[in-house]
Structure 1
Amino acid sequence: MSQSTQNFSSQQPKGMKDLNDPRFARKDIFPDLHLLDGPLQQYRYKATFDWRQMRLITDPLPVWEVKYKVWDFMQKNPLFGRSHETLPLDEQRKIATKRAFSIFNEKIFSIEQYLETPELGQKFSTAITAFDPSISVKIGIGFGMFPNVIMSLGNERVQDLVMENQRMENIGCFALTEISHGSDSQRMKTTATYDPSTKSFVLNTPNFEAAKCWVGNLGKTATHAIVYAQLYTPDGKCHGLNAFVVPLRDKKTHMAFPGVTIGDLGEKISLNGVDNGFVLFSNYKIPKEYLLSKTGDVDDEGNFITQYKDPKKRMGLSFAALSGGRVGICELATTYGITAIIIAIRYSASRKQFGPDNSNIEYPVLEYQTQQYRLIPHLASIYAVRFFSNWIGREYGKMTLKGFTGEKVSVESGMEMHAISSAGKPVSGWIVRDCIQDCREACGGHGYLKCARLGDLRNDNDPNLTYEGENNVLIQQASNFLIAIRAKGWNSFENASPLGTVAFLKDGEAILRSKWNWSKIECVMKPENQLTIMNFIVAYLLEKTFNRTKSLQSQGQSSFDVRNNSQVFHANCLAIAYGHRQIYSTFLNEIQNLPNSSSEREILTKLLSMFGANLILTTYMNVLYEGSFITNVHANELLQTGILQLLPVIKDEAVALVDAIAPPDFIVNSPLGMSDGEVYKHLENFMYQTPDTFTRPSWWKDVVYKENYLPTSKL
C-alpha cells in the first residue's frame, strides 16, 4: 500500500497522453481534475488510461454537450438552488412543476430534435434525472410520452393537441393502471361506450377498484390524459382496451370537468415532486375524434373498423408505443447507480482509517480488500449497465424513427425488443439496487446522512422495480419469448433475432454439450470464455424450463397452470440470465470496437472480467454444476483468485473510472462525492448551513421541565 503525500501538480498523470489535445478543449466537460490538490490526487496519477477519452467511450461528445447544456442552465438559474431541508409535500410539487416548465420552455431539446435523434432525447432526460428525477418524470410524461403516444397511435384529427402541448397549452398524463389491476390489463374495467346520437364516447368507472391510479402528473397538474378503456359499440360488444385522449381540467380555471373526479395519492417513499393521482369518470362524454384510431376506429353509426383480425395483435400494437418506458428505466437506473458509485469510490479514496502497527500512517479505506470487494464489482456492473442502456436506447431509437417516418418495423424486431426490455429493465434495476445499498453501507455512518444522497438514490431507484411492469411479472414476457421460439426448434433463433440477443441459441445443442475446459486463472478471466459460460447458462436454463413446461402439459395442466408452475427455479431464472447475458455481451462488443492497443480497452477488459467472474461466482455456480458444465475443476477457486488479483489493479484506476462518468459537483451534490475529495470540509459546510443546526428547539421547555411528565398520582 503506497501512501505518498507527494504533490503531483507539476507532473503529467500517467494515463493522460496529451493534456493539450484539442478534442478536450471544453473545460466544463473535461476539467483539469489532475490539478486539484487533495486526497484523490494520488489515485488520479496512478491511472493508466486517459479519463477524458474514457468519457467519450461511455457517451459520445454530442451526448455530453446536451447534458452540460442542461446542467449549465440549472446551475445559473436560481430556481434550481439546492435546499438543505425536506420541503412540505405541496412545496415539492410546486417547485418540481416550476422547474419542469422552465426547462421545457427553454427548448433546450425540442420534440423536433427528439424525432430526429431519439437517443439524444433520452440523454436529455437523463441529465435532468441526475439533478432531480421528479422533474424528469414530469417533463417526460407531460411533454414527451403524452404527445408521442398521440403521434404513434392517433391520426391527423388529434394532431392539434400535440401542437398545443408543445406550446404548453395543455399538460399530459398517461392513465392505464387501475386500483385493482396493473399487469393484467385485459381485465381493466373503465369503459368507453360509443353513443351514435351525439357522436361521442361516454366514459364510466363502474367502481373504485376501476379508478385509474398511479397516474403521474394527474394529482395536481395535468389537463389531459391518455386513458385506456374497454371500448363498447352500441350493439353491446366489447372491442378491448383502446386509447383515448381525455380532457380532464379546464385550461383556464384548472378545475376538473363535471363527470371527472380527480384525487391525489399523497406522499410516497420518494419522487414526491411528481403528483401521482387517481381519476374516476361518471357518464363523461368526449368527442368521437379523441379515440386514438391507428389500430381501430368507430364510424359514425358505431361500427368498429380495424385492419387487424387478431385482437391480441391489435392490442400488442396499441401497447408497442409503451416499450420506450422500459428502455428509459434502464437509463434511469444507470443514472442512479453512477451517482452512487461516484460517491462511494471518492469517499473511500478520501476516508482514512487504521494503518501499520506502531505507525502514524493511516490508509484510505479503498486500500482494504474488503472495501475493494464491496465496491469494485459494483463499479464494473455500473459500467456494464451503462453500455447496455446505451445499446438498447440506440436500438429503440432506430425503431422509433422508423415508426415516425412510416418505415415498417419487422414483427421480429418488435418482439425481440419487447423481450429484452422486459428482461433488461428488471435486471438493470436490481443491479443498481444492490449497488446503491452496498455504497450506502461502504460509506459508514456518514453515508446515512441525508446530505450524502445515498438514501435518496436508493428510494428514487425503488419505483424502477415496480412501474412499467413489476419486475417479477415483467420478466415472464422474456421467458415466454424464449420458450415460444425453442418450441419451434433451436434453428429458429437466428431468424427471430434481428437485434442479436438470442441468435447465439441457434447453436443450442452444441452449447449444451460444452464443458468447462480451463485450468488457468487467465483463461477463466478471459471475456470470450466468460461469454461461453453465460451462453451455456442461458441455453441450459432454457432447455430446463422448456422440458418443465412439456412435462406439465403432459400431465394435463392448463396453459395457465403450466405457466404458473414453471416460474420458480425455471422461467424466472431463465429470464434473468438472458438479461445478464445481454448486458455482458453488449459490454464485450463495446470493448471489441476499441483499438487493440489502447489503455482504455485494457482497463475496460479488466472491468468486464470482474463483472463476469463475480456474476458467475455469486449467481450461477449452482447452474453450472447442475448442468454438468463443471465436473472436476476447482472452478470456484479459479474465479475467486482471479477476482482477488484484479481488485488491487482496478483499485488504482477506480477514481479515474468514476471521473469519466461523473457529472459536475453541482449535480453530484454530496459532501462525500465531490471531485476534490475534501470530504470533511464539505461535511462542515453542509452541517453548518443546515437550518436550525445551532438553535434551541421551540420545545426546549419540554426537555427542561421534566415535572410535566410525573405520574398524575404524584401531582
Structure 2
Amino acid sequence: MTELTDRTAGIPTGNGSRTTQSTPAPTPQAATPAAVAGAAAVDVAALGELLLGKWADTRLKSRALAGRPELYKTEGLTHTEHRKRAFGQLKILVDNGAVHRAFPKSVGGSDDHGGNVAGFQELVIADPSLQIKAGVQWGLFGSAVNHLGTAEHHKKWLPGIMSLDIPGCFAMTETGHGSDVASIATTATYDPATEEFVVHTPFRAAWKDYIGNAAADGLAAVVFAQLVTNGVNHGVHAFYMDLRDPGTKEFLPGIGGDDDGVKGGLNGIDNGRLHFTHVRIPRTNLLNRYGTVDAAGSYSSPISSPGRRFFTMLGTLVQGRVSLDGAAVTASKLALKTAIQYATERRQFNASSRTDEEVLLDYQRHQRRLFTRLATTYAASFASEQLLQKFDDVFSGRNDTDEDRQDLETLAAALKPLSTWHALDTLQECREACGGAGFLIENRFASLRADLDVYATFEGDNTVLLQLVAKRLLADYAREFRTVNFGVLARYVVGQATGVAIHRTGLRGVAQFVADSGSVQKAALAIKDEASQRALLTDRVQTMVAEVAAGLKGANKLPQQQGAALFNQHQNELIEAAHAHAELLQWEAFTDALGKVTDPGTKVVLTWLRDLFGLSLIEKNLAWYLMNGRLSMQRGRTVGEYINRLLVKIRPHALDLVDAFGFGPEHLRAEIATGAEKLRQDEAREYFRRQRASGQAPVDEKILLARTAFDKKASRS
C-alpha cells in the first residue's frame, strides 16, 4: 500500500490560518472514486473561519487561554486537590478578563452576551471542571443577579461576583425536584413586622442538592423558593442569601449542608447540599425584576400571569443550555481530531499487501464509525452557531419579543440534548476506534467522557427538554387551524387523508419503483439531492406531529386524570417527534452554512459531508420510511450503498476536515495525536524492509508448508 503523506507538520496551531490540500491516499476498496474525490480540495483556513463563526476573535482568545498549562486538567488528583486547583484557575480567568463580557457596562462589563458564551464554550478544552465551575460562578450565580435583579442589586453584588470576592451558588435544584422547578418546596415567607423573608426547607427532600460551590467555596447563593406573602403563594422567585462567614468559612446561623463527595466526573467542582431553618434575609434581597413585595407585604409584578412570569424568569437563564450545547460540540471536535489523526497513522492487518499493514482509516467500517460522527459534528456546530446568534439577538435587545424568547427556549431545548448525547457517543466511539490506546487517560477520551456525562442531565434533563419541544410543536400545529374556516380545514383533512392512503397502501412506493426502473444509480440520485433529503426529513417530522396531535385530540376537555393518561400513552411518540425536529434543524443549519462557502473545492467536500449526515438520518430511521410508504424497497436499499460511496469520497479530505477545527497540540494533549504512532509504524516498516532486503529474514512457516506441499505435488507428477 502507498504510504500516507506525513501530515504532522501541517497541523494548525489554533488560528485556522493554514491552507492546504490533502494528499489523497489510495483506498483498498475503491481507488478510482478516491482519485476523483482528490480533484476537490479543502481550503482549511477558510473552513476554519466559517466554523469559528461570528465571535471568532473571542473564541480564539479563549482557546489560547485554554491552551495554557496552568489551566489544564491534572489527571490523578484527589477530588479535594482538584477542587483547590479549579478554584485557583477561576482567579486566572478573572486576571485575564475572561469573565466580564456578559455583565453590564455600568459595573465594568461589556454587555456582550454572545461573545461571553462563545468564549465560555472553549474552556472545555482546558478542563470541563474549570468550565462548569466558571459557569456556576458567572453563568448561573452572577447571571441570576444580573438578569433577575435590578440596578441596585447589580451595584451591590456584581463587582464582587465578577472579581471572585463573592464565590457563589445557584441553589435551584432540590433532592426531590430537579427538572420540575415549579414544584420545589423551599419557601420564602414574608414577615411585614421585620420586613424580612424567612427562608425554610420544611423536609429533607426540599434540601438544595447537587449545587456547585456549596460544599466548600460558596460564600453566597441565589436561592430559588416559593414566595409566600399575606397567605398567598406567588410561585418560584430568586433571593440573594449570604451562606458563610467570609473569615471562618463556616455556615451562618440556620444554614447547614453536606458535601456530595466524589462524582462520576467533574470532580473539580465542590457540589453539595444546602438546607435552611427559618433563615431571615432582608426584603431587598428578593431579586425583583419580575416580581416585588412592598414593606407592607403587597405583591406586584409587571407580568400578571403566574405561569408566564415563571417561564419568563427561567427563560433568562437559558444561556446555560446554549453554553452546554457549544461545549459538547467542542468536545466532539477534540475527540474526532485525535481519533482521525491516529487512524491515518495506525496500521493493522495485511488486507491488500503481503508486506504492509493497512492504515485504519482505509477500512470502510472505520470510516463509517468516524465519518458519520464527523458529519453530525459539523451539523451540530453550524446549528450551535445559529442558536448562539439567536441568544445574542434576544439578550442584546435587538430582537426581544415574547415570540423571540419562546423561539430561543425551544431551539435551545431541541439542540442541547442532541449535542450532549452526540458528544458522549462520539467520545465512546473514538475511544473504541483507538483501541487500548484510547483507554489511556493520557489520550483524554475516558476523562472527557466521564466529565461530560452529566451534561445530558443538568441545565435540563435531555428527555424533559425534548418533551418541552414537542409541546411547542403541538401548539404551533394547533395554531395553524385556530382561525381557519371549516372549508379550509375540510380540504386540509381530505388532503391529509389522501396522502395517508397513498403512503400506507404502498402506492407511493410503487411509483418510486417504476420511476427508478430497477436502476440503483437512478435510485441513489433520487435520494442524494438536497431537495429530496429536505422533503424526507421534513415529512417525517410533520407526519409524526400530526399523528400525535390526532391522538391527543380532545385531551384538554377530559378530566385531569384521563387527560394525563392519554398524554402518557403518546409520550414516547411526542419525544421521538421532537428528536426528529431537532435533527432537521441541524440538517438545515448545515445546508445554510453551505450557502456561505465560496471556495468550490471546499463546497464540494462539505456537500458530501452534509449528504452523509442527511442520509445517515434516513438510514437510521429507514424502518419508519418503509413502513409509512415514504421510500420504496428499491430506493431504501440504495441509502446504505450511497453512504458507502460518500465515505470513499470523503476519505482523502478527512484530515483537512478535522484540521479546520483549529486545535493545536496544546489543545488536544493526546499522545496518539502527536505523530508518535507514525514514527513507530515507519520504524517497524523500515526494520522489516531491511530484513527482507538482506535475505536474512526468517521464512514464514505457512510459506514453508506451501512450498513443501508444492514440491511434493511436483515430484508426484
**Do they fold alike, i.e. is TM over 0.5?**
yes
Structure 2 equivalent of residue 713 of structure 1: none
1:203 to 199, 203, 207: 199
1:349 to 344, 347, 351: 344
Structure 1 equivalent of residue 136 of structure 2: 141
- Alignment of 1:188 with 2:184, yes or no, is yes
Distance (Å, rounded) in 2 between the aligned partners of 1:79 and 1:510: 65
Structure 1 equivalent of residue 89 of structure 2: 99
Structure 1 equivalent of residue 543 of structure 2: 540
Structure 2 equivalent of residue 563 of structure 1: 567
Distance (Å, rounded) in 2 between the aligned partners of 1:6 and 1:627: 47
Distance (Å, rounded) in 2 between the aligned partners of 1:165 and 1:119: 20
- Alignment of 1:230 with 2:221, yes or no, is no
| Alpha-carbon contact 1:511-1:536 (below 8 Å) kept | no
Distance (Å, rounded) in 2 between the aligned partners of 1:269 and 1:54: 36
Distance (Å, rounded) in 1 between the aligned partners of 2:581 and 2:679: 40
Change (3 A) 1:680 1:46: farther
The Cα offsets for residues 589-629 of structure 1, whole Å up to 9 and x where unpaired, read as 1112223x6211111111010001011101x2222233322
Alpha-carbon offset, residue 424 of structure 1 = 1.3
Q: With CA pairs under 8 Å and 6+ residues apart, which has the higher RCO, 1 or 2?
A: 2
The Cα offsets for residues 95-145 of structure 1, whole Å up to 9 and x where unpaired, read as 011012111222145236875432221121122111101111111221233
Q: Please identify, of 430-439 and 602-611, the stretch whose mean Cα deviation from structure 2 is larger.
A: 430-439
| Alpha-carbon contact 1:142-1:222 (below 8 Å) kept | no
Structural mapping, 1:290-305, within 5 Å? 290-305=285-300
The Cα offsets for residues 30-87 of structure 1, whole Å up to 9 and x where unpaired, read as 46697999x99x9999971121111011114852x434434444555x634664x411
Change (3 A) 1:606 1:510: farther
Change (3 A) 1:32 1:323: closer
Alpha-carbon offset, residue 179 of structure 1 = 0.4
Distance (Å, rounded) in 2 between the aligned partners of 1:369 and 1:600: 23
Whichever residue aligns with residue 433 of structure 2, its letter is A
The Cα offsets for residues 279-303 of structure 1, whole Å up to 9 and x where unpaired, read as 0011111111110111111010111
Distance (Å, rounded) in 1 between the aligned partners of 2:563 and 2:680: 61
The two structures, once aligned, show a CA RMSD in angstroms of: 3.2
Structure 2 equivalent of residue 712 of structure 1: none
The Cα offsets for residues 184-221 of structure 1, whole Å up to 9 and x where unpaired, read as 22221101011112111111111111000111122211
| Alpha-carbon contact 1:36-1:676 (below 8 Å) kept | no
Whichever residue aligns with residue 330 of structure 1, its letter is D
1:360 to 349, 355, 373: 355
The Cα offsets for residues 658-698 of structure 1, whole Å up to 9 and x where unpaired, read as 1101421111111122367647599xxxxxxxxxxxxxxxx
Whichever residue aligns with residue 95 of structure 2, its letter is N
- Alignment of 1:66 with 2:61, yes or no, is no
Structure 2 equivalent of residue 594 of structure 1: 597
Structural mapping, 1:629-708, within 5 Å? 629-630=630-631, 632-674=632-674, 678=678
1:418 to 409, 414, 417: 409
Whichever residue aligns with residue 99 of structure 1, its letter is Q
Structure 1 equivalent of residue 45 of structure 2: 52
Alpha-carbon offset, residue 633 of structure 1 = 4.6
Between the aligned residues of both structures, percent identity stands at 26
Gaps of 5+ in 2: 27-33, 104-108, 485-494, 517-521, 683-717
Whichever residue aligns with residue 3 of structure 2, its letter is S
Structure 1 equivalent of residue 122 of structure 2: 127
| Alpha-carbon contact 1:232-1:238 (below 8 Å) kept | yes
The Cα offsets for residues 449-485 of structure 1, whole Å up to 9 and x where unpaired, read as 1212111122222111101121122211011111122
Distance (Å, rounded) in 2 between the aligned partners of 1:350 and 1:100: 38
| Alpha-carbon contact 1:342-1:662 (below 8 Å) kept | no
Alpha-carbon offset, residue 8 of structure 1 = 9.1
Whichever residue aligns with residue 527 of structure 2, its letter is V
Q: Greater CA radius of gyration, 1 or 2?
A: 2
Alpha-carbon offset, residue 561 of structure 1 = 2.1
1:369 to 364, 368, 374: 364
Distance (Å, rounded) in 1 between the aligned partners of 2:483 and 2:439: 51
Structural mapping, 1:510-525, within 5 Å? 519=516, 520=522, 521-525=524-528
Whichever residue aligns with residue 614 of structure 2, its letter is G
Structure 2 equivalent of residue 609 of structure 1: 611
SS of the residue 2:88 aligns to:
helix
SS of the residue 1:350 aligns to:
coil
Alpha-carbon offset, residue 236 of structure 1 = 2.0
Structural mapping, 1:273-312, within 5 Å? 273-312=268-307
Whichever residue aligns with residue 649 of structure 1, its letter is K
Gaps of 5+ in 1: 17-25, 494-506, 683-715
Distance (Å, rounded) in 2 between the aligned partners of 1:352 and 1:33: 27
Distance (Å, rounded) in 2 between the aligned partners of 1:87 and 1:587: 40
Distance (Å, rounded) in 2 between the aligned partners of 1:46 and 1:561: 59
SS of the residue 2:344 aligns to:
helix
Distance (Å, rounded) in 1 between the aligned partners of 2:608 and 2:376: 12
Structure 1 equivalent of residue 629 of structure 2: 628
Change (3 A) 1:5 1:163: closer
Change (3 A) 1:108 1:232: closer
- Alignment of 1:174 with 2:170, yes or no, is yes
Change (3 A) 1:61 1:50: farther
What is the count of residue pairs matched by the alignment?
641
Q: Please identify, of 481-490 and 87-96, the stretch whose mean Cα deviation from structure 2 is larger.
A: 481-490
Structure 2 equivalent of residue 79 of structure 1: 70
The Cα offsets for residues 273-325 of structure 1, whole Å up to 9 and x where unpaired, read as 11111100111111111101111110101111123221101111111112111
Distance (Å, rounded) in 2 between the aligned partners of 1:313 and 1:28: 44
SS of the residue 1:302 aligns to:
coil
Whichever residue aligns with residue 477 of structure 1, its letter is L
Change (3 A) 1:208 1:196: same
Whichever residue aligns with residue 135 of structure 2, its letter is G
Change (3 A) 1:656 1:9: closer
Structure 1 equivalent of residue 699 of structure 2: none
Distance (Å, rounded) in 2 between the aligned partners of 1:599 and 1:142: 44
Distance (Å, rounded) in 1 between the aligned partners of 2:100 and 2:556: 52
SS of the residue 2:330 aligns to:
helix
Alpha-carbon offset, residue 532 of structure 1 = 1.1
Whichever residue aligns with residue 453 of structure 2, its letter is D
SS of the residue 2:224 aligns to:
strand
Distance (Å, rounded) in 2 between the aligned partners of 1:354 and 1:98: 48
Alpha-carbon offset, residue 28 of structure 1 = 5.4
Change (3 A) 1:179 1:616: same
Whichever residue aligns with residue 172 of structure 1, its letter is G
TM-score, with length taken from structure 2: 0.83
Distance (Å, rounded) in 2 between the aligned partners of 1:33 and 1:46: 16
Distance (Å, rounded) in 1 between the aligned partners of 2:483 and 2:396: 28
| Alpha-carbon contact 2:62-2:120 (below 8 Å) kept | no
| Alpha-carbon contact 2:626-2:636 (below 8 Å) kept | no
Change (3 A) 1:53 1:593: closer
Structural mapping, 1:394-409, within 5 Å? 394-402=389-397, 409=400
Change (3 A) 1:229 1:528: same
